[in-house]
Each structure stands twice: as structure tokens, then as C-alpha cells.
Amino acid sequence: MRRALTLVLALTVFSSPAAALELRSDLPLWGAGESREPVWPRAYSMPDGSFGCELNIRPGDWRYREADDNPAGPFDWVRIGQYGAFHCAARFGEAYQREALAGGVADLGFIVGLGTHGTEELYALQIGLHASRYILLAAPSAAEGQSVERFRVLEPDCPRRNLRKGPTIDIFMTSYCVVNERRDLVAIARDAARKPPERWLERAGDFAPPA
């Protein structure tokens, strides 16, 4: 029965011209220091000589949720922080339990603004400094002085030409969607933003236990 179920899942993915798969790029599509691009963290300096890196959202522990309040994501939890004050990059730690975030391995990356769709701002979590993977998000524009505390997670469709087919290993799918152009990722995000919300990424609070 398990083998039959796995085969059905595999056929469903491979036969669909637009399958919702993990988004990846061979190299990062965005990097720090691009002043004309909405990429965070970004460097800042003040007249008093202070400097550092700033994020566009509050660092802390974030949780994936479905409409029925159940956890729902590639992992259940993601810890978003900063690499440091001199070299601007975000740190993304992922785990199935919040307690496992402390001291866990974190990937470096960036939060990228992808423009707008209607009344929402579109974003991508670009995770990884070599080959990168992307989580697409949307949220209403925050009021000045406020930060977004809740994003809806976008469900991207993969164009057939972007599909990379890998073998099924036990119950695990190895196929993914490769996106190596910024404009293609933006187009995928805008298309996904038209779908009704099913999942959210919500800030649960500061790092707990402390990082």
C-alpha cells in the first residue's frame, strides 16, 4: 500500500505541468550591498558614528501555521536573525520543535522585496549563499514605525520547463523547481499571490530559549 501511495504521489507531481515544488536557484539571485534593490539586511551608519546592519522585520522565532492552526511548512519553526554588525546577512535556522532552534545549524541569506500585488508586498526568503532556495511570502504594507508580524505563505506553481525530476527515495521527493532569473521568480510570486491563503508564517516572539 505504501509503495502504491508513493507511486501515485510521484505520478501526480510528474504529470502536472504546474507542480508546487521547492524553489531553488543554482546561484543566489540577490546579494547585499545592492542599494537599488530591496534586499535586507542592509548596512546603515549614523551621524554619531554608529553603524550596523538592519532587517526589515523583527528578528525572532517564527512559526508556520495552516488555516486550522496546525503547523505547516518545510519545517514548523524558523529562527530569523542577523549574522553580525559588519557583514550584513540574515541567519535562518529551521527545526520541527522550537527548542531545537537554539544552537542549531543556520543558513545565511537575505530577505528580498519582490514588489507589490494589489495591497500586498511580496517577499522571498533567499536561504543559502551558494545554491539558494526560496520561500515566497506576502503581507499588507506595514504602517510607518511598525513591522510585519504575519505573512501569508505563497504556494508557487512550477512551469514545466523549470522542473528538475529526481528519484523518489522511500517517501521523499527529490524533484524541485529551478529558477535562475529574478524576473522569473517575481512572476512566479505574483501568480502565487492570486491564490487564496492557506498557510501563514507568524512571529511567535523573541528567541526562546535565547540563541
pLDDT digits (tens, 9 = 90+) for 61-70: 999 998 666 6
Could you tell me if residue 210 is inside a domain?
no
Q: Is residue 173 part of a domain?
A: yes
Q: Is residue 77 part of a domain?
A: yes
Q: Could you tell me which of 32, 65, 38, 210 has the C-alpha nearest to residue 149?
A: 65
Instruction: Give 14-20's long-range contacts (Cβ < 8 A, gap of 24+).
Output: 14/165, 14/175, 17/159, 17/160, 18/157, 18/158, 18/159, 18/160, 19/157, 19/158, 19/163, 19/175, 19/177, 20/155, 20/156, 20/157, 20/158
Kindly state whether residue 191 falls inside one of the protein's structural domains.
yes
> Has residue 211 been placed in a domain?
no
> Rounded CA gap, 152 and 196, in Å?
10
Residue 57's domain comprises: 2-205
Looking at the structure of the chain, the number of domains it has is: 1
For the stretch 21-78, pLDDT in tens is: 899 999 999 987 655 679 999 887 778 867 778 888 999 999 999 866 665 556 789 9
The answer to the question of residue 183 being in a domain is: yes
Q: Report the C-alpha gap between 103 and 14 in whole angstroms.
A: 38
Whole-prediction pTM: 0.83
Task: Place 144 in a pLDDT band, splitting at 50, 70 and 90.
Answer: low
Check residue 168 and give its pLDDT.
83
